[in-house]
Amino acid sequence: MAGPRISPFAVLLLLLLTVPLLEIYLLISIGKIIGAGTTVLVVVLTAVVGAWLLRLQGLQTLRRVQRAADKGELPAVELVEGLMLLISGVLLLTPGFFTDAIGFIALVPGIRRRMAQALLKHFIDRAQTNLHVRTSQSNTIEGSYRREDPP
C-alpha cells in the first residue's frame, strides 16, 4: 500500500521557503570564513563559468536532437536533457552555493542523461498506469432487453 501523496504545490511551496533560507545561511557561513568580497566574487565566477558550460552543453544537446530527428527517431531523452539544461541555467544564475551545486551537477552529461532517462521512464510508467486504470473501468451496464411492439 502506498503512503499519502504529496501535492506538487506543497513540494513547490516547501522549496520556495527552504532553498532561499539555505542559500542565505550558506552565504553568511562561507562569508565568515573567506570574507564577504571573496564570497561575492565566487558567486559571480560560478555564474560566469556555469553560463559558459551551459552554452557548450546546450549546443551539444541541440546537435544530438537534430541527429536523432534526421534519423527519424524521437529525441525524447535529448529534449528532457534540454529542459534540464534550462533549469540548470536558472539555478546557476541564481546567486548562491546550493543552487550552483545542483546546477553544476545537472551539467555533467552522464548524470544528466541518467536523470533524463529516469524521469522519462517515470512519466511513461505513470501514463501507462493511468491508461490501464481508465481502460479497466467498464462502461457496460448489465441487464436484459425485450422489445414490445404496439398493437
pLDDT in tens, 42-96: 999 999 999 999 999 999 999 999 999 999 998 999 999 999 999 999 999 999 9
Grid coordinates in use for 126? 505513470
Count of structural domains, the chain: 1
Is 2 inside a domain boundary? no
Q: Which of these, 11, 29, 6, lies nearest to 98 by C-alpha position? A: 29
Task: Tell whether 3 is covered by a domain.
Answer: no
122 part of a folded domain? yes
User: Residue 38 pLDDT > 70, yes or no?
Assistant: yes
Mark out the alpha helices in the chain (DSSP H runs). Answer: 8-34, 36-70, 76-93, 97-107, 109-136
Q: What is the rounded end-to-end Cα distance, in angstroms, of the chain?
A: 60
In order of 47, 49, 57, 123, the CA distances from 52 in angstroms are 9, 5, 9, 31
Give the CA-trace dihedral at 77, 78, 83, 85, to 10 degrees.
120
70 located within any domain? yes
The answer as to whether 92 is a domain residue is: yes
- The three cell numbers of residue 78 are 535529448
Cα(47)–Cα(53) distance, integer angstroms: 10
Question: Is 110 in contact with 81 (CB distance < 8 Å)?
Answer: no
- Quick one: average pLDDT of 24-33? 96
pLDDT score of 97: 95
- Domain residues for the domain of 123 are 18-134
In a domain, 84, yes or no: yes
Q: Quick check: 86 and 107 in contact, CB under 8 A?
A: no
